[in-house]
Structure 1
Amino acid sequence: MTTIEIFQERCIGAGNCVEVAAKYFDLDEDGLVVARRDEVEAGDEEQAERAAEICPAVAIVLHQTAG
């Protein structure tokens, strides 16, 4: 299982994550990243990983957990 952790204080509002994985990420009223879900569904790992990788502020961290 992959879980999503957001470090909103790092976010610069680029929005790359939303473009790549709108199912999992959005921007709040201040233009900062928020997670739409806490866990990545099976089969969507690559999409979520890409969103985390292209974040220029490293505001998205994915954790692999057993389960």
Structure 2
Amino acid sequence: MHVSVDKDLCIGAGQCVVTAPDVFDQDDDGIVELLTDHPAETDHDAVREAEHVCPARVIAVEG
């Protein structure tokens, strides 16, 4: 799995951090920070859920 985010479109809702805290964080302005672009297999379901719940649709998952 490969994960990418579009920080320019992030609205800072934070749903990704709540859903997959080992993969996503937020900077001081609330904008998404990707902790790893190749998450552990144990995080795959959470990452897919984060992609689904992101209101700005800034998370892209491949694989």
Which range, TM-score by smaller chain? over 0.9
Paired positions, count: 63
- Percent identity at matched positions? 33
CA offsets 1:5-59 (integer angstroms, 9 cap, x no match): 0101110000000001000000011110010111021132111100111000011
Which one-letter code corresponds to 2:61 in the other structure? L
Structure 1 letter corresponding to 2:42: G
Q: Per residue, is there more strand in 1 or in 2?
A: 1
Q: Unaligned regions of 5+ residues in structure 1, if any?
A: none
Q: How does 1:1-67 map to 2 (within 5 A)?
A: 2-64=1-63
Consecutive unaligned residues in structure 2, runs of 5 or more: none
- From the CA coordinates, give the structure whose radius of gyration is larger: 1
**Alpha-carbon RMSD:** 0.8
